[in-house]
Amino acid sequence: MIRKAYATDKGAITYWVNEIEPHAVTLVFLPGLTADHRLFQKQVEYFERLCNVVVWDAPAHADSRPFELSFSLEDMACWLHEIIDVEGIERPILVGQSMGGYVSQAFMQRFPGEVAGFVSIDSAPLQRQYYSSWELWLLSRMTSVYRAYPHEPLVRAGVKGCATTEYGQKLMREIWSVYNHEEFSVLAGYGYRILAAAIERDLPYEIDCPVHLICGEKDAAGSTRRYNRAWAKETGYPLAWIAGAGHNSNADCPDEVNALIAALAGLG
Helices (H) and strands (E) in the chain, counts: 11, 8
- Per-position b or e across 221-241, b if 16+ CB within 10 A of its CB: bbebbebbeebbeeeebebbb
pLDDT at 26: 98
**What span, in angstroms and rounded, lies between the C-alpha atoms of 163 and 52?**
27
Question: By the 8 A CB rule, do 84 and 115 touch?
Answer: no
Going by their DSSP bridges, the two strands 211-216 and 26-30 should be labelled as unpaired
End-to-end CA distance of the chain: 22
Q: What is the mean pLDDT of each run of 10 residues along the chain (268 residues)?
A: 98 96 93 98 97 98 98 98 95 98 98 98 98 95 94 94 97 97 97 98 97 97 94 98 98 98 93
- The pLDDT of residue 221: 87
Please state, in angstroms and rounded to a whole number, the distance separating the CA atoms of residues 172 and 151: 14
Are 20 and 52 contacting, i.e. CB atoms less than 8 angstroms apart? yes
C-alpha 15/C-alpha 1 separation (Å) is 9
- What global pTM score does this model have? 0.97
Distance CA 194, CA 77 (A): 12
CATH of 2-265, one of 3.40.1620.10, 3.40.50.300, 3.40.50.920, 3.40.50.1820: 3.40.50.1820
Strands 211-216 and 239-242, by their bridges, are: parallel
Phi, psi of 211 (to 5 degrees): -130, 145
DSSP per residue over 111-170, as a string?
STT--SEEEEES-----GGG--HHHHHHHTTHHHHHHTS-HHHHHHHHHHHH-SSHHHHH
Coil, strand or helix at 86: helix
